[in-house]
Structure formats: C-alpha cells, structure tokens
A and B are shown apart, each in its own frame.
Chain A
Amino acid sequence: MTESSLELKRRILRRVEAFPGLHLREIARQEEVSEALTGYHLDALVAQGDLEERVEAGYRRFYPTHGVTPTAEERGLLALLRQPAPLEIVVFLLENPGATHTQVTEQLGRSKSTVSYQLQKLVEAGLVTARTEPVGYEVVDAKRIGRLLLKWTPTRDATDRFSTLWRSFYGSRKGGA
C-alpha cells in the first residue's frame, strides 16, 4: 500500500462517512477511479471493520461503522506519525510485514541511519516490533493502525512543514533532507 493508495482508501472512507449508503458505482464515479479499484478498497474497508456492506435493490451500499472522534491514545500515535519518515515506514510495513531494514531503506530511498533512527523511535513507542527470527519489522496491531491512518490524516506542525519544504528541494537523495 503506497501513500497514494492509502490516500484513495481514506477518501473513499470519508466519502462514505459523509454520505452513508452510497453504492459502489457512485463512489467510483465521484472518485474518478475504476469500479474494480474502488471495489478493492471497499472490500478491504469492510474486511477491517470500517464499513458495513448491505445489498439493497441489487446495489452494494456502504455504511460507516465508527464514530468520528479520535481517542487520546490515537491522538498520541497520530502525533508520532505526523512526520513523513515514520509515516512512510509504517505504511510500508503495513503492506510488507516483516520487511528488513535493508528493504525499508531501499524501497523508501532514505539513508540507513535515518531509517535506523526512525525504526528505533517507532519500536520505543510500541508502534513497531523488531523480529529476530526471521529478522524484520512489523507494525504492532496492524489492523488498528491501518484503520487509524485511514480515518485520520496526521497533522503536521510548522517544523514538519519546514522539513518537508527542504526535503522537496534536496529531493530523495540518500542522506539528503
């Protein structure tokens, strides 16, 4: 799951929360993506308990299953994930549970030291766990974290926006900002 795919899934969830009872074709039309892709994300949202599906008059209609207020713990996790690097790592590990340090480094195009630092922070926060056999990392309670990321966009403060600005200037060079 890339960040853009996560963003599409989040948009679909928000659309259904805003307009409960939308059917698949209408969601696909409004999001301007194929019905197959929309159906794929809707199935995933139903499977993880974010949406409920009912077939009414031949239409697959979708309804939200949750409230809209994050808990204090969820706000704490979102604060940790407001920086791009840990967010990218968590999203990558959700899609690739058990990925090694090298795989994270190569796929995200970040320096080894940056990935080590961020993974250590995520492990200390209890968001990620390090496996020894086989070696790798995975998100603790992946289903809940995946759901959390879909429901809420981590807000970025001025420092994060400043860092993002310079990161975009220096590009994705290893070790660059």
Chain B
Amino acid sequence: MLDAHSVSFGFLIVSGLLSLGLLGFAIRGFRRSHESGLAFVAGAFTIFAIKSFLVAYALRTGSIEHERLELVDAMGDLATVLIFVAPLFWPMKTQ
C-alpha cells in the first residue's frame, strides 16, 4: 500500500519532468523566434521544475521541516505565476 508521501513524491517527480519537457519547448521556441515572452515562459518552467524536484527531495529525505517546505512550495508557485504574467505588465523594450 502506497502512503501519501510516496504518492506525492511520484506526482512531484512527474510534474518536474513535464516542466523540463515544456522548458525545452520554450527554449527551442525562443531560439527560433527570439520573442522575449518565450524567455519568461522558460523562466517560469525552470522555477516550477526546480521547486518540484526540491520539494520531492525534501519529502523523500525529510531534510526540510514541514512548515518550511510549505513555504518553499508556496513561494515557488508564486514566483512561477509572477514570471508567467510579467510580460503582460512589463514595459517591453522595442529596440
């Protein structure tokens, strides 16, 4: 019988790997078009992947106490969302 920690660990690893795949698409898209919005997308997926792997590692090893882990999780999510929406508000350089 799988415990909740193991299931969470599995989900986090899958999320991290999917994020790395999408990061690859964003980097390839940016290298093709040089559109700055895709750089932000790549940044957001990088943060999300790092967060996923970090939380998975902490869950597995118990190296970070629960409250701090929740803080890292929440900060990672916030950073990801902020980077995603940044191009909508950031005054883009046109030359």
Which DSSP category, helix, strand, loop or mixed, fits chain B's interface? helix
Interface Cβ pair total, 8 Å cutoff = 77
A174 contact from B22, B26, B29, B94, Cβ within 8 A: B94
* Cβ contact within 8 Å between B38 and A166: yes
Task: Give the contact stretch, choosing among A3-11, A50-58, A110-118, A126-134.
Answer: A110-118
A113 to chain B, nearest CB (A): 7
Q: Is B93 an interface residue (CB 8 A)?
A: yes
Nearest CB in chain B to that of A166: its residue: B41
Q: What is the 8 Å Cβ interface bit string for chain A, positions 148-177, against chain B (1 contact, 0 not)?
A: 000000000011101100110011011111
Q: Given contacts A162-B25, A163-B38, A170-B87, are A175 and B33 in contact (CB under 8 A)?
A: no
B28 within 8 A of A: yes
| Contact for A114 among B22, B34, B40, B41, CB less than 8 A | B34
Whether B3 sits at the interface, judged by CB under 8 Å, is: no
Q: How far apart sit A113 and B35, CA to CA, in the bound complex (Å)? A: 9
Decide if A85 is an interface residue (CB 8 Å cutoff).
yes
What separation, in Å, do the CA atoms of A158 and B25 have in the docked complex?
8
B88 at the interface (CB under 8 A from A): yes
Q: Please report the total number of B residues contacting A with Cβ < 8 Å.
A: 20
Contact status B37-A177, CB under 8 Å:
yes
Cβ-based interface call for B95 (8 A):
yes
| Contact indicator B87/A111 (Cβ below 8 Å) | no
* A111 in contact with B25 (CB, 8 Å): no
- Asked if B71 is at the interface (CB within 8 A of a chain A CB), the reply is no
Pick the most buried of A85, A112, A162, A163: most chain B CB atoms within 10 A of its CB. Answer: A163
Restricting to B73-94, which residues have a CB under 8 Å from any CB of A?
87-88, 92-94
Tell me how far the C-beta of B48 lies from the nearest C-beta in chain A, rounded to whole angstroms.
Answer: 15
Residue from A83, A158, A167 within 8 A of B32 (CB atoms) = A83
Which of A113, A160, A173, A177 lies in contact with B95, CB distance below 8 A? Answer: A113
A159-B32, A162-B29, A163-B33 in contact; A175/B92 too (CB < 8 A)? yes
Q: Is the CB of B29 within 8 A of A111?
A: no
A residues near B (Cβ < 8 Å) are 83, 85, 111-114, 117-118, 158-160, 162-163, 166-167, 170-171, 173-177
